[in-house]
Structure 1
């Protein structure tokens, strides 16, 4: 989708960042003095809130904005972290340990906030915001009692999840299930499949594999397991197949509830998988169907969900047709027997 040359870009909406975005970003030596930001710091709804804006447009504006910030631009506002709510579409699961965050917070305290977070105006609460990305910076500012520097946008739900997806695609530490879970949340928000694939840089085959997991494994089970960074798609696929094939969901939930404070998320995944394997249904029981003389007519396969009669001979096929014709009478006998219990 091509952009109208008259429509302002994100960067042009920040007074001090209104330099020509089509020109190459200046080097440190060439950079002119930056004028103070204008009072209007919030981007108009027509800039990025358009429901059908192309993914390439969003990614391009993000990259251009980052380039201007890296070269010393301004345009952010300072916000009380208490006024910023989480994104309605979480894209990260909690870390197994707070050690990395504590190290980040120490650096944040010593060096200050170098890059502003991005927020949108809250669609339902006047004077409040929702974070697009920069969750750790927001948390650190809140912990340290500081205001957080932020770029403020008016943004639709669709553009919010796509923007988060673009940001996530550049991260190297997202686990497979975090990416799959975010795809699920975009799908739940009625984001088109082509936009989900573009946001996460995946193809049809990978999206299909994600769907095979997140359409079977409930979100609460994924959240109880956690990030599981060492668990990739093949093992999550195995987990989903086992879960779809039996009635063990409550067993898995109980196992994970009991293991809430034991081990890390990789360990919890293994515990849940072991619980599934332990209660998987026995292999189907198959018996021979013999006539009164002991001649085999076919095979009867019985599982908790299936009753299958396979004929091996012409006489076996005739017997199968006879059984089919007797089903109404058998059902009457079954119901009469139930009433006597």
Structure 2
């Protein structure tokens, strides 16, 4: 597919965004409420629904455009194919799922071709647009990989991957956030990131909160963390943002299981436990002395505990005295409670 035969995917998204903005701007005028009616104009709601439908339709059209490739399916030597410069997956905790997928390729063949482009800096080589698992399975099986070649820029490549990702249910929240980060780094406009991943402004803002606070190497060391959703990642990011000095401790604990023996959800929890501030409140002791200034011991109190310690023989006598007085104190406490709540 040549550049002249199609508009840039990013440009198409830009045109879509402009059209939707015009629709939303025109909506209230086309259905303005009469002075006697306090109701919100139906045109505003209708325009919003049409905008959502148009986004979905345009995304599906662009997905079909990317998938069509405009060329015949070829068989390539997988050793001549390199991964995308913008990876969108983190390693699986359990390789069993991939092994099952690979067996299906071995027995049934590769039914869906991968998308590739010519490598921008290495003659005779290719880069994957998407289809990394199919390529890796073919490579490990020693089989040619079936592929469609497209002509696509770096910017279009990363958006094309985003479009493909929008229809995949197995990507975890942090994988999608990390891919949004890579689109951000590649210079993709926020409106195109949102369209590619089918997310809105608040969701992109939450993703940015995480990937701008948590370094990529820490996210990659944790992994997919399928059971860790957006709220806990946001809490993790806030903890790091509030205390950046905690990062070395997180990196150290994550480096202690390099063989993958600890699943990613557990790695997340280990890192979180080591960076979050201690819930214990340190209370200083208060000295206890008698009327003549002789030290008897010390006491300290927390929300759930009162402690008293003794210094010397006289302090031991005092602690025993306090213990003997407890029944009377309990009785006095009960009477005062009754008087306060007749």
Shorter-normalised TM range: 0.5 to 0.7
Please, what is the CA RMSD of the aligned residues? 2.5
Match for 2:89 among 92, 95, 99?
92
Q: Secondary structure at the match of 1:258?
A: coil
Match of 1:251 in 2: 249
- Match status 1:167 vs 2:171: no
Deviation digits for residues 308-341 of structure 1, max 9, x if unmatched?
xxxxxxxxxxxxxxxxxxxxxxxxxxxxxxxxxx
Residues 117 and 127, structure 2, Cα contact 8 Å, conserved in 1: yes
Match for 2:233 among 231, 236, 247?
236
Match of 2:311 in 1: none
CA distance in 2, matches of 1:281, 1:161: 46
- Shift of residue 58, structure 1, vs aligned partner: 7.0
With normalisation by structure 2, the TM-score equals 0.65
Residues 48 and 159, structure 1, Cα contact 8 Å, conserved in 2: no
Match for 1:126 among 123, 127, 137?
123
- Match status 1:45 vs 2:45: no
Match of 2:101 in 1: 104
Q: Secondary structure at the match of 1:78?
A: strand
Distance 1:52 1:233, change over 3 A: closer
- Return the structure number with greater helix share: 2
Distance 1:277 1:111, change over 3 A: same
Q: Secondary structure at the match of 2:123?
A: coil
- Shift of residue 62, structure 1, vs aligned partner: 3.1
CA distance in 2, matches of 1:281, 1:122: 55
CA distance in 1, matches of 2:225, 2:253: 16
Distance 1:270 1:126, change over 3 A: same
CA distance in 2, matches of 1:63, 1:51: 11
Match of 2:12 in 1: 54
- Shift of residue 259, structure 1, vs aligned partner: 2.9
After TM superposition, list the pairs within 5 Å mapping 1:315-330 onto structure 2. Answer: none
Q: Secondary structure at the match of 1:53?
A: helix
CA distance in 1, matches of 2:280, 2:241: 11
CA distance in 1, matches of 2:7, 2:81: 19
Residues 217 and 240, structure 1, Cα contact 8 Å, conserved in 2: yes
Match of 1:197 in 2: 194
- Match status 1:63 vs 2:60: no
Q: Which of these two proteins has the greater Rg computed from alpha carbons?
A: 2
Aligned length: 238
After TM superposition, list the pairs within 5 Å mapping 1:1-341 onto structure 2. Answer: 43-47=1-5, 50=8, 52-55=10-13, 59-63=60-64, 75-246=72-243, 247-260=245-258, 261-278=260-277
Residues 49 and 154, structure 1, Cα contact 8 Å, conserved in 2: no
Deviation digits for residues 17-40 of structure 1, max 9, x if unmatched?
xxxxxxxxxxxxxxxxxxxxxxxx
In the alignment, structure 1 segments of 5+ residues that lack a partner are 1-42, 284-341
Distance 1:134 1:48, change over 3 A: farther
CA distance in 1, matches of 2:199, 2:218: 24
Q: Please list every run of at least 4 consecutive aligned residues from structure 1 whose deviation after the TM superposition is greater than 4 angstroms.
A: 56-59, 278-283
- Shift of residue 46, structure 1, vs aligned partner: 2.9
CA distance in 1, matches of 2:63, 2:163: 9
CA distance in 2, matches of 1:74, 1:281: 64
CA distance in 2, matches of 1:274, 1:191: 35
Q: Secondary structure at the match of 2:92?
A: coil
